[in-house]
Amino acid sequence: MHDASLHLGDRLVVSGSPNGVGDTVAIAAVLRRTADPSEIARAEYKLRLHLGELASLIGYGDRVDRFAVATRPGVDASRAVADVNQSAFGFQAYRSKDIAVETSRTFLVVSRFHRAIGVITIVASGIFLLCIMLLKVDERRREVAALRMMGISAASIVKSVMLESAAVAAIGSLAGVVIGRLSAAIVNWHYQGVYRTPLAFAVVTPGIVALAVLLSITLGLAAGYAAAQRLVRVPPLTLLSGRRERRPRRHMARG
């Protein structure tokens, strides 16, 4: 309607062929597109007519390509499909759920691909966080040495570093959630306008947020533990002097 500047009540002439005899119809309603993935790649217009008008327009006779059957609540859809398929030759019934899965297979592949990218990104961020914690802990060698000489246990130092690392991971997770929601809103705004569909192309669900935060905090705790263990294993006097502890080399005697 937007492309042809049509409005409710306008009269149109529709025909089955460009040069065929047409039938005059009036626009009685406007139907918006549903969030159906199978309609995304179809750059075509959809016109709904009464069944009698449609049959006379296309000259198809008493035949149909496909039709939908709604089951009552409590009826087993799989059994209804089997009964329809066994009733006569030439019929093939499918559940609407199966058709939706088949037409959305491309979106499922893209969703799995994005999930894999997300997991790889989180693991890479965990490695980056480990590097940051190693640098920060290495800069605090003298402070840790002073704490150790004051009687602070190594376990307490490890816990404090792990808490700091978990806090950094949590702040990063919250920032990631905000950026993710903003990015999803921009993607949906752009592609919904391009394809004229209410379908959501990018979705940030509570499950995704929970998974991302859980992985981030877990990796943050692991990074903090690894960085702290690397530091507390060095004697306090060695940390205070600023020299790195060297392990004695082993020489193997040859006979």
The pLDDT of 33-53, averaged and rounded, is 77
> What is the chain's length?
255
Please check the confidence at residue 246 and state whether its pLDDT lies above 60: no
Domain chopping of the chain, boundaries? 1-65, 66-103, 104-241
Beta bridge partners of 25: 12
Which own/partner contact pairs does 201-210 have at CB distance under 8 Å and 24+ positions apart?
A: 204/177, 204/180, 208/118, 208/180, 209/177
The pLDDT of 189-211, averaged and rounded, is 85
Q: 């499918």: which residue's tokens?
A: 94
Task: Count CB neighbours of 77 within 10 A.
Answer: 14
pTM: 0.60
Name the region of 59 (left: φ>0; alpha: ψ -120 to 50; beta: rest).
left
Gap between the Cα atoms of 63 and 55, Å rounded: 9
Instruction: Determine the pLDDT at residue 118.
Output: 77
The pLDDT of 27-47, averaged and rounded, is 78
The CA radius of gyration of the chain, in Å to the nearest whole number, is 33
Please give the mean pLDDT across all residues of the chain. 79
Are the C-beta atoms of 10 and 26 separated by less than 8 Å?
yes
Instruction: Determine the pLDDT at residue 245.
Output: 47
Please check the confidence at residue 254 and state whether its pLDDT lies above 60: no
Please check the confidence at residue 6 and state whether its pLDDT lies above 80: yes
